[in-house]
Amino acid sequence: MYGTLAGFDPPREQIQQQAASKFGLDVNRDGVDAGYHLADEFMTRQNSTKPLRKMNGNEQWTFFSRYEQLVLQGAGHEVDLTLAG
């Protein structure tokens, strides 16, 4: 649903807060929003070189782990790809 007018219910910031809390990470809405800005730019760059639909399973796992890593980075947390994935 990337690049559409569709939204998330519950909001993706709430989803991130709930998921992060399971790993002892405290995130707030502004931080998550900043992280999504970084992650969405990453997705745009990736789709311009090799679209996600053309990636194999390992490449997709690496991409989405890095995407989540960027969301958490924006929220003030540096995590490795394994935790992000």
Predicted confidence band of residue 2 (pLDDT cuts 50, 70, 90): low
Give helix then strand counts, H and E, for the chain. 4, 0
Per the CB < 8 A criterion, the answer to whether 71 and 36 are in contact is yes
Predicted confidence band of residue 39 (pLDDT cuts 50, 70, 90): very high
- pTM of the predicted protein model: 0.85
For all residues of the chain together, what is the average pLDDT? Answer: 92
Q: Identify the pLDDT of residue 28.
A: 93
Tokens of 81: 């790809």
Predicted confidence band of residue 9 (pLDDT cuts 50, 70, 90): confident
The contacts of residue 50 (CB under 8 Å, 6+ apart) are 59
Q: Identify the pLDDT of residue 63.
A: 97
d(CA 33, CA 50): 25
Region of 9 (left: φ > 0; alpha: ψ -120 to 50; beta: rest) is: beta
